[in-house]
Amino acid sequence: MTQTRRGHLITVEQVADHVRVVHDGQLIAESRRPLLLRETGLPVRYYLPPEDVRTDVLTASPTRTHCPFKGEAAYWSRPGAPDLAWAYLEPIDEVAAIKGHFCFYDTEVVQD
């Protein structure tokens, strides 16, 4: 999926990379079926299916942000790590594939 709006490009693709998220020694998420999102001017990000995220160790945050190219993001935290993850629960149509997928600031790509 590719979206170009006002010179801003976003691509979303299904990849088979093995990624995981560890915080304070605890595995928070691990996936072999993430979405890879590339966006003009921003770092490449992995969006992980909710089934691959330990939501039991995350707490919903009151933080919300708005991106004109993706929509409104909701955030989740851990003790000592506010707003560690975010997701677009109702993204705009052009990036609908990321709906409900979690993104983290720090992900590790595992070389199998």
Confidence (pTM): 0.91
Number of domains observed in the structure of the chain: 1
Q: What letter would DSSP give residue 55?
A: G
Q: Which pLDDT value is given to residue 68?
A: 93
Residue-wise pLDDT for 97-110, tens only, equals 999 999 998 888 88
**Residues 106, 98: contact at Cβ < 8 Å?**
no
Task: Please give the residue range of the domain that contains residue 97.
Answer: 2-110
Closest CA to 110 of 27, 4, 37, 13: 27
More confident residue, 21 or 2: 21
Q: Which pLDDT value is given to residue 3?
A: 62
For residue 10, what is the domain's CATH number? 2.170.150.40
Residue-wise pLDDT for 31-74, tens only, equals 999 999 999 999 999 999 999 999 999 999 999 999 999 999 99
R_g of the chain computed on alpha carbons: 14
